[in-house]
A and B are shown apart, each in its own frame.
Chain A
Amino acid sequence: MGGKQDPTANGSPKSESMGAKKASPDLLNSSFSFKSLKLKTKQQELLLRVSILGLVYVLAFIARLFSVLRYESMIHEFDPYFNYRTTLYLTEKGFYEFWNWFDSESWYPLGRIIGGTLYPGLMVTAALIYWTLRFLRFFVHIREVCVLTAPFFASNTTIVAYFFGKEIWDTGAGLVAAALIAICPGYISRSVAGSYDNEAVAIFALLLTFYLFVKAVKTGSLSWALGSAFGYFYMVSAWGGYVFIINLVPLYVLVLLITGRYSMRLYVAYNCMYILGMLLAMQIRFVGFQHVQSGEHMGAMGVFLLMQVFYFLDWVKYQLNDTKLFQTFLRITVTSAILVGGIALGVGTASGYISPWTGRFYSLLDPTYAKDHIPIIASVSEHQPTAWSSFMFDYHILLFLFPAGLYFCFKRLSDATIFIVMYGLTSLYFAGVMVRLILVATPAVCLISAIAVSATVKNLTSLLRTKQKVPQTGSTKGVGSSKSSSKVTLDQSQPFQKNGAIALLVGVFYLLSRYAIHCTWVTSEAYSSPSIVLAARGAHGNRIIFDDYREAYYWLRQNTPTDAKVMSWWDYGYQITAMGNRTVIVDNNTWNNTHIATVGRAMSSYEDEAYDIMRSLDVNYVLVVFGGVTGYSSDDINKFLWMVRIGGGVYPVIKEPDYLVNGEFRVDKGASPKMLNCLMYKLCYYRFGELVTEYGKPTGYDRARGVEIGNKDIKLEHLEEAYTTSNWIVRIYRVKPPTNRL
């Protein structure tokens, strides 16, 4: 039965190890040294657990190293380059300079207050690791530390997942949760080696905070609550997604209050965490006073006040031993509390003191909001709603183990299981709204699935181990067990029960092994590409590497004056400042929509108007990304319509229908004249009309769009070509000074 103390979770290796030890007593007894190795059951179990955890720890680290082995140890994508640059600055200049840094190399005329607009957790963590290693005389480069920070913290997350699983269910579930989360693609996608982004550290902080809070609620001790406050502080310093914690925890407390599970432990845990967490969180400049002023954080404050009311009522009820008096008191207090709270909230929101929900988070509640009002948020591919294929891709078998786990959680409801159910459901809802948030849902899904797996396997193995006892019929639960009849008679189906259990166990192990294979395949194929270096298969099957991005950035670094300003679309801003070391006009921070719209307008205007805009911004070089020669499809021509939309959102002179023909976006002869003569088109296709890209196709055949371009004879008046990389992926143009007037 499940109630027996059953130390094994993954099959029954214990029985065979015990058997092996018993089978050779002669050998053991003869050599004296071996006798001391005959461990007791508890010690064997401990050894098993520790070794499993150790293996899972190493596995989580190794699974993320594909790109380091295939390419080299470098930072991937776009955002990590900014984090790398800031970490470099931190290690070179020290914490004080870093905290007060004003950067004049990005957002050209405006600059950016970096110290006040970033989440320092990741950089400080990497810098601490770097300084520790240096102290131990390992002189590594900061880039290596940055690249490997994410896998290191992924390993730590598995340990936290083990402890969390132990809290919710038992050690078996903890072990399975650790193993599942070590290789789950939903988590790997953002924590692969080289993906030096906030989420690498944030998921660890998230799980740690949740674990410490659940432990605090369970024990009611102040020290755990304090720990969760510090965990929350770490989370706030690491990622903007801390808003999820500050809303989920009050929601959880509210649910507990409503279901009648109010207790002193809950009071102690929540109050301590909220007040201390809030105080600590306000130390981060980027967060500032949002905890008392922003609408997103008001839920936590409301629940805090509600807790005080509950505690007060509880205390009064305890003091008075008379229910009638207490009822009147209750009525008075509750009405006055609700009245006061409602008035305060109303006044605060109406007067604007409490700011409403910001666009980023509002679009989570109303997914259509961003598309209509804020095109920049809508344009990011990670913010699109999730397709079912993404869910299957990222979760595989966990997708159907999740409802099974929910069933088990509901069977054994306690404060801890209520929490994990709430976490799982809310995070899955948000994961459905935005692809990027699959990452936040991953720990919950892994934990709940682990409960399903662990409980199933435990029941099945205990069924196997019951010998001639009266069959406990309740233990035939498990995946697909509805087929095996639970209402069994004593003798007949006893052997079939055992066979059924064995068959089901084999099925479970088969599923888990397929999961492992799938995860490894996904990691290797889909999530290990550095994005800055592209690879393709040549005609003979050999691997061809396109290192054009870095080629262009280093050309910029070495061949342009140090105060040159580069205009490009905002995607490349971070990389240009980090690797090219030049000032940019707009970058990935996207904090100023008008500035980006100005660049968008320049890219979509005719060359003369664009020249005026570029002169006003002091632009010296323009950088565009073009995939027509290689068939690379994330180039600027494919992003062009977003430039038009964003530019048109601020400057009504840019109208999207001008660039489309019958609502269709074309670049061949049938394209609209505005499209054929705008700056982006000219810069991308300059001299392209003479190039043969594919055998048998005419010159100027664009391989990414699959058409022959419309305007092959391009003349540039105010710009001249400065550099084009070897595969034509990045093209840099110099802005000519105005011609002399005679």
Chain B
Amino acid sequence: MVKSTSKDAQDLFRSLHSAYSATPTNLKIIDMYVVFAVFTALIQVAYMALVGSFPFNSFLSGVLSCVGTAVLAVCLRIQVNKENKEFKCKTIVTNLGGIVAMFVIAV
């Protein structure tokens, strides 16, 4: 059982890796940004676990803004991805600029 699951896991990783390398570069950049944002959020959570949550506002705003940018970047990725038939590309540029500006204001 264990052997087959580990073999399955290896196959999984290999096929995922090969499929992922096929994605276009601009999408990979967005993915890197998402990973960075989530990583920052995780660091903040670890920090809070260590030091305590005294200014809870700042903790929350930090974590949520990281999560927020991650989510918005994912939304952007969805809309830019040419293989998603539900979206058209033309509105993306104006959207991103407007959204990020308003998001910064909101935070």
Q: Is the interface of A mostly helix, strand, loop or mixed?
A: helix
Residues of A within 8 A of B (CB): 220-223, 226, 263-265, 267-268, 271-272, 275-276, 278-280, 282, 289, 292, 311, 316, 319-322, 325, 328-329
**Chain A residues with CB under 8 A of B74:** 267, 271, 311
23 interchain pairs, CB-CB under 8 A: A221-B95, A222-B75, A226-B99, A264-B86, A265-B86, A267-B74, A268-B79, A271-B74, A271-B75, A272-B71, A272-B75, A275-B64, A276-B68, A279-B61, A279-B65, A279-B107, A282-B57, A289-B56, A321-B19, A325-B8, A325-B11, A325-B15, A329-B12
Q: How far does the alpha carbon of A328 sit from the alpha carbon of B56 in the complex, in Å?
A: 40
Interface residues of B in 1-42 (CB under 8 A from A): 5, 8, 11-12, 15-16, 19-20
Q: Once bound together, how far apart are the Cα atoms of A292 and B56, in whole Å?
A: 11
Q: A319 touching B84 by the CB < 8 A rule? A: no
Chain B stretch 84-102: residues in CB contact (< 8 A) with chain A: 84, 86-87, 91, 95, 98-99, 102
Task: Find out whether the CB atom of B102 lies under 8 angstroms from the CB atom of A226.
Answer: yes
**A651 to B12 CA separation, bound complex (whole angstroms):** 68
The verdict on B72 contacting chain A, using a C-beta distance below 8 Å, is yes
Tell me if A264 and B12 are in contact (CB < 8 A). no
CB neighbours of B61 from chain A (8 A): 279
A580 nearest CB across to chain B (Å): 38
Alpha-carbon gap, A271 to B64, bound state (A): 12
B residues in contact with A272, CB < 8 Å: 71-72, 75
Measured between C-beta atoms, what is the minimum distance from A227 to chain B in Å?
Answer: 10
Residue of B nearest to A329 (CB): B12
Residue numbers in B under 8 Å from A322 (CB-CB): 15
With A223-B98, A322-B15 given, is the CB distance from A268 to B65 under 8 Å? no
Nearest neighbor of B4 in chain A, beta-carbon distance: A328
Q: List chain A residues, Cβ under 8 A from B60.
A: 282, 289, 292
CB nearest neighbor in B for A324: B8
A220 to B87, CA, bound (A): 8
Residue of B nearest to A277 (CB): B106
**In the complex, residue of chain A having the shortest beta-carbon distance to the beta carbon of B84:** A264
Would A220 and B12 be within 8 Å (CB), given that A275-B68, A289-B56, A311-B74 are in contact? no
Chain B residue numbers with a CB within 8 Å of A320 are: 12, 15-16, 19
Contacts of A222 in B (CB 8 A): 72, 75-76, 79, 95, 99
Residues of B within 8 A of A289 (CB): 56, 60
Cα distance, A282 to B68, chains bound together (Å): 14
Report B47-75 CB contacts with A as 1/0, cut-off 8 Å: 00000000011001100110110011011
Distance from B89 Cβ to chain A, minimum over Cβ atoms (Å):
12
Does the CB pair A267–B78 fall under 8 Å? Answer: yes
Inter-chain contact B11/A263, CB cutoff 8 Å = no
Q: Nearest CB to that of A292 among chain B residues?
A: B60
Q: Is the CB of B91 within 8 A of A268?
A: no
Q: B11 contacts A268, CB within 8 Å?
A: no
In the complex, chain B residues whose CB is within 8 Å of the CB of A220: 79, 86-87
A221 vs B106: C-alpha distance in the bound complex, in angstroms? 19
Q: Is B75's CB under 8 angstroms from A275's CB?
A: no
Q: Which residues of A contact B95 (CB under 8 A)?
A: 221-223
Contacts of A223 in B (CB 8 A): 95, 98-99
Q: When chains A and B are docked, how far (Å) is the Cα of A351 from the Cα of B14? A: 42
How many angstroms from the CA of A279 to the CA of B68 in the assembled complex?
Answer: 9
A278 touches B12 (CB 8 A): no
B67: nearest chain-A partner, CB-CB: A275
Q: A278, B91: Cβ atoms under 8 Å?
A: no
20 more contacts with CB within 8 A, not counting A223-B95, A280-B106, A325-B15, are A221-B95, A222-B75, A222-B76, A226-B99, A226-B102, A263-B86, A268-B78, A271-B74, A272-B71, A275-B64, A279-B61, A292-B60, A311-B74, A319-B16, A319-B19, A319-B20, A320-B16, A320-B19, A328-B8, A329-B12
Q: Which partner residue on chain A sits nearest B85 by CB separation?
A: A264
Point out the residue from A264, A276, A311 that lies within 8 Å of B87, measured CB to CB: A264
- Chain A residues whose C-beta falls within 8 Å of the C-beta of B68 in the assembled complex: 275-276, 279
Q: How far is the CA of A561 from the CA of B107 in the complex (A)?
A: 48
Chain B residue contacts of A267, Cβ below 8 A: 74-75, 78
CA distance A282 to B60 in the complex (A): 10
